[in-house]
Copies of this chain bind each other. A is one copy, B any other.
Amino acid sequence: MIAQTPEPTYYAVIFTSVRTEGDNGYAAASERMVELAKQQDGFLGVESAREELGIKVSYWRDLDSIKRWKKNAEHAAVREKGRSEWYKAFKTRIAKVERDYGFEK
């Protein structure tokens, strides 16, 4: 659930979105994208939650692995459907994780 990321530094892609009404193939495509992301070189993990707002944070080794994932053809096609069908609005932020700490009971 909480991604098991390595020691910093590494990168986070914070994707925040508001969905349109209805599923319209979103759930299946979203699941497929996570499966596909897991196969990419440099992928470190993903965390997501949705209420009114959806937040998905994927973690990557470096900017190059993020760029390659963005260019993946299947991923690019699905992103187009995101703009045309699934999202009212979204914001993507690319951030370098400089420090982290955690807690577990």
Contact = CB atoms under 8 A, between A and B. Distances in A.
Interface of A: 1-3, 5, 8, 12, 14, 16-18, 47-55, 57, 83, 87-105
Contact of A103 (B5, B52, B90, B96): B90
B47 A49 contact: no
A89 B2 contact: yes
A88 B89 CA distance: 32
A94 B97 contact: yes
Nearest to A102: B91
Contacts of A3: 16, 91
Contacts of A18: 1-2
Nearest to A1: B53
Contacts of A16: 2-3, 47, 57
